[in-house]
Chain A
Amino acid sequence: MSADPILKIVEELTDEGTDGFRASAIARQLGLTVEQVSPVLLGMVSDGRLRLRSDVICPDNGRTIRSYWQGEQLPIGKTVQSDRCASDEPFVVTRDEIWITFVPTEKFRVAVRKRRVQRGREERIPAADEGEPGLAGTTTRCRPTSGAESSVRMAAQS
Chain B
Amino acid sequence: MPVPQLVIDLLNVPVPTLRKVAARHGVGEGISTLRKWDLAQAVSRIPRGELEAEIGEYLYAGSTSLSWVRLAPAGEEINDEDPDAFSGLRGVELSGTDVLRALGEHGDADPFSETARPEEIDETPKLVVAREQDDGYMLTFAVAKRIGHVIHNFEHTPVFEDEFFNALLRPGLGSVEVRGSASRARRLERTWLAVFADSLDAQPRPVAITQEDFHALHDQLKGRLDVYRGKTTTGVTVFDTHEFTKADSVDDLLPEPEFERQTRDLEPVSFDLLFDAAGFGDVRIHVSVRNGSIFVRTAVPDRVLRYIYEVLERIKSR
- Chain A contacts to B: CB under 8 angstroms: 13, 16-22, 24-25, 28, 57, 59-64, 87, 89, 91-92, 94-96, 99, 101, 103
A116 vs chain B, min Cβ distance (A): 15
B183 touches A24 (CB 8 A): no
**B267 proximity list for chain A (CB < 8 A):** 22, 24, 62
B3 vs chain A, min Cβ distance (A): 22
Q: Is B291 an interface residue (CB 8 A)?
A: yes
Interface string of B279-318 (1 = CB under 8 A from A): 0000000001011000000000000000000000000000
B183 touches A89 (CB 8 A): yes
B291 touches A59 (CB 8 A): yes
B235 touches A20 (CB 8 A): yes
Give 28 A-B contacts (CB < 8 Å), ordered by A residue.
A13-B234, A16-B234, A17-B236, A20-B235, A21-B234, A21-B235, A22-B234, A25-B233, A28-B233, A28-B264, A28-B265, A57-B231, A57-B290, A59-B182, A59-B183, A59-B288, A60-B182, A60-B290, A60-B291, A61-B229, A61-B241, A62-B229, A62-B267, A62-B290, A89-B145, A99-B231, A101-B235, A103-B235
- Chain B contacts to A: CB under 8 angstroms: 80, 145, 181-183, 186-187, 190, 229-231, 233-236, 240-241, 264-265, 267, 269-270, 288, 290-291
**A62 proximity list for chain B (CB < 8 A):** 229-231, 240-241, 267, 269-270, 290
B265 touches A63 (CB 8 A): no
Taken together as a complex, chains A and B put the C-alpha atoms of A101 and B270 apart, in Å, by: 20
Q: Is the interface of B mostly helix, strand, loop or mixed?
A: mixed
Closest B residue to A94 by beta carbon equals B186
**B270 proximity list for chain A (CB < 8 A):** 60-62
B264 touches A19 (CB 8 A): no
B186 touches A24 (CB 8 A): no
Taken together as a complex, chains A and B put the C-alpha atoms of A101 and B240 apart, in Å, by: 13
**A61 proximity list for chain B (CB < 8 A):** 229, 241, 269-270
**A57 proximity list for chain B (CB < 8 A):** 231, 290
B240 touches A13 (CB 8 A): no
Closest B residue to A96 by beta carbon equals B290
A92 touches B233 (CB 8 A): no
**A64 proximity list for chain B (CB < 8 A):** 240
Once A59-B182, A59-B291, A94-B186 are accepted as A-B contacts, the answer to whether A25 and B234 lie under 8 Å apart by CB is yes
A91 touches B80 (CB 8 A): no
B241 touches A63 (CB 8 A): yes
**A59 proximity list for chain B (CB < 8 A):** 182-183, 288, 290-291
A13 touches B236 (CB 8 A): yes
Closest B residue to A53 by beta carbon equals B235
Taken together as a complex, chains A and B put the C-alpha atoms of A22 and B186 apart, in Å, by: 26
B261 vs chain A, min Cβ distance (A): 13
**B291 proximity list for chain A (CB < 8 A):** 59-60
